[in-house]
Amino acid sequence: MAQHLIKAFEAAPAVNLEQAYARRPEQLSHLLHSEKITDTLTALAEADVYIISVSDDAIAGISSQLPFTNKLVIHTSGSVGLNQLNGKNHRGVFYPLQTFSKNKEIDFHTIPFCLETEREEDYTILETLASALSQSVYNINSAQRQSLHVAAVFVSNFTNHMYTLGSQICDENNIPFDILKPLIQETAKKINTLNPLQAQTGPAVRNDVTTLQRHLDFLQDENKKTIYRLLTQSIQQANEQKL
Amino acid sequence: MAQHLIKAFEAAPAVNLEQAYARRPEQLSHLLHSEKITDTLTALAEADVYIISVSDDAIAGISSQLPFTNKLVIHTSGSVGLNQLNGKNHRGVFYPLQTFSKNKEIDFHTIPFCLETEREEDYTILETLASALSQSVYNINSAQRQSLHVAAVFVSNFTNHMYTLGSQICDENNIPFDILKPLIQETAKKINTLNPLQAQTGPAVRNDVTTLQRHLDFLQDENKKTIYRLLTQSIQQANEQKL
């Protein structure tokens, strides 16, 4: 994430990336001039915002080691509370909600930034920063961000696992998984115009008992059978609550 | 589906839509000239292919009522076997794999057509027909089509339900579901370049026990808790098989 952000800030005219810290400066040498990189926390340059973009476990430690106080210090994590940052500085969160892959270029333009600050005047600074990268900026507190992270597990990690299960069924039956890709894209696109409860189709929501039973008979793998049963039930339950 | 197909065939220069049958012709009057519609099975015009595009339950009945034999008669269903068509005609299946909504225009161009015929010479006819609508045509037998239908439930119906569960979590925590939409689109796009097992991210596949437990503690609803546990387990299981 840090490297994606460095690239994006360097490309944003409204943002002046003063300096980057790295324990091993050579890791950033393909992104920044060497005079812009430091490996010494006590040599950090003056800035309006200090961004800690490291693994979740390392955030608290780094924030304690900072050699200054009363500056704006923020992290970029979806699952770490604002209060895990050391209280000697003004704290904030700057969380781009997206799934990142190291080798894939990121277009921040449409990625939602979830912002939180202790002080109102700091919010304006983060808002300016986020708006320089993206058109989509939200004020999200730590409790909301926690629930957002859980929701993201459902709509992204679990969804991707549904793709895995589908591809396993294809493999076992000598069907190219490619056949399902347009359906997958359309299913995702649909919720841009319908809410997902309205968009629900399939034998579960129709309570098409014959098809449901045929599918359960077809599935040999106990794990897939259990998931099929549980999600069918859950779809029907959500649908009843709707009515 | 029938109406989408009528529109697509009428627009395809390579296809001559001879006639459509409907019990209530006025239902098709916005699509076809009245002389092209009949409500009498015995008045069906000569054609190379007769397409039965009705609800699954009605396919066998209509195919028996046809007043001719030894013609090519096909249905468009994903979950009905070829052998449910009456054997007095040459049978085939012409199944566009996509999620259809009545009010949404369909671009058949990228939709996979799954074809099956009893006789080889009939396959060529269906291939010509499908190629007139789509660039993506597959030879899929009834057993494969059945498994494809199950796989489609996983990647489409169950995936959409993950969106529903995510949106419920958002609603309960006063977060606009819109924040998750770019993530949902990116998750779907990813599998165009990575296989879903490689694309898997999140606390389950990292076995990030702290986050998993925090998420389970956060979820109050028993149904969501059970789904979270089961899918986390299933992700880890799929990942172990990969290694």
pLDDT recorded at residue A107: 84
| Stretch (H or E) spanning A213 | helix A209-218
Is residue A156 within 8 Å of residue B201, measured between CB atoms?
yes
CA distances from B176 to A28, A40, A115, A148, B15 (A): 36, 41, 14, 10, 46
pLDDT recorded at residue A105: 75
How crowded is residue B24: how many other Cβ atoms within 10 Å of its Cβ?
Answer: 9
CA distances from B149 to A212, A230, B67, B115, B153 (A): 11, 18, 31, 14, 6
Is residue B203 within 8 Å of residue B215, measured between CB atoms?
yes
Q: Do B162 and A144 touch (CB under 8 A)?
A: no
Angle, helices A159-172 vs A222-242, to 10°: value is 130
pLDDT recorded at residue A106: 79
Cβ neighbours of A153 in B, within 8 Å: 202-204, 215, 228
Decide if pLDDT at B65 tops 70.
yes
Is residue A111 within 8 Å of residue A97, measured between CB atoms?
yes
| Residue B77 CB partners (closer than 8 Å, separation 6+) | B56, B59, B93, B95
Which pair of structure tokens corresponds to residue B177? 């579901």
Question: Mean pLDDT in runs of 10 for chain A (243 residues)?
Answer: 92 95 92 93 95 94 97 94 96 90 76 96 97 96 93 97 98 96 95 94 93 95 98 96 73
Report yes or no: B160 at the A interface, CB cutoff 8 Å.
yes
- Write the burial class of residue A215 (CB in 10 Å: 0-12 exposed, 13-18 middle, 19+ buried): buried
Decide if pLDDT at B21 tops 70.
yes
Please compute, for residue A209, the number of CA atoms within 13 A of its CA located in the half-sphere on the CB side.
0
Q: What is the DSSP letter of B68?
A: -
Interface of A with B in 85-114 (CB under 8 A): 97-99, 101, 104, 110-112, 114
Q: Do A163 and B199 touch (CB under 8 A)?
A: yes
Which pair of structure tokens corresponds to residue B59? 């396919």
Q: Do A187 and B188 touch (CB under 8 A)?
A: yes
Length of chain A: 243
Distance CA A60, CA A75 (A): 10
pLDDT recorded at residue B243: 61
B164: pLDDT confidence band, cut at 50, 70 and 90?
A: very high
pTM of the model: 0.88
pLDDT recorded at residue B98: 84
Report yes or no: A143 at the B interface, CB cutoff 8 Å.
yes
Distance CA A144, CA A116 (A): 10
In this complex, which of A148, A162, A228 lies closest to B159 when CB atoms are compared? Answer: A162
Nearest to B131 by CA among B2, B20, B12: B12
Distance CA A134, CA A108 (A): 6
Please work out, in degrees rounded to the nearest 5, the angle formed at the alpha carbon of residue A235 by the alpha carbons of A229 and A237.
100
Is residue A200 within 8 Å of residue B160, measured between CB atoms?
yes
pLDDT recorded at residue A103: 63
Distance CA A138, CA A116 (A): 9
Report yes or no: B205 at the A interface, CB cutoff 8 Å.
yes
The full set of domains in chain A, from first to last, is: 2-140 (3.40.50.720), 146-242 (1.10.1040.20)
Distance CA A177, CA B104 (A): 25
Instruction: Give residue A137's identity as a one-letter amino acid code.
Output: V
Distance CA B32, CA B13 (A): 16
Length of chain B: 243
pLDDT digits (tens, 9 = 90+) for B115-144: 999 999 999 999 999 999 999 999 999 999
Decide if pLDDT at B41 tops 70.
yes
Please compute, for residue A82, the number of CA atoms within 13 A of its CA located in the half-sphere on the CB side.
21
Is residue B74 within 8 Å of residue B98, measured between CB atoms?
no
Decide if pLDDT at B103 tops 80.
no
Distance CA A222, CA A236 (A): 21
pLDDT recorded at residue A243: 61
Q: How far apart are the first and last CA of chain B?
A: 42
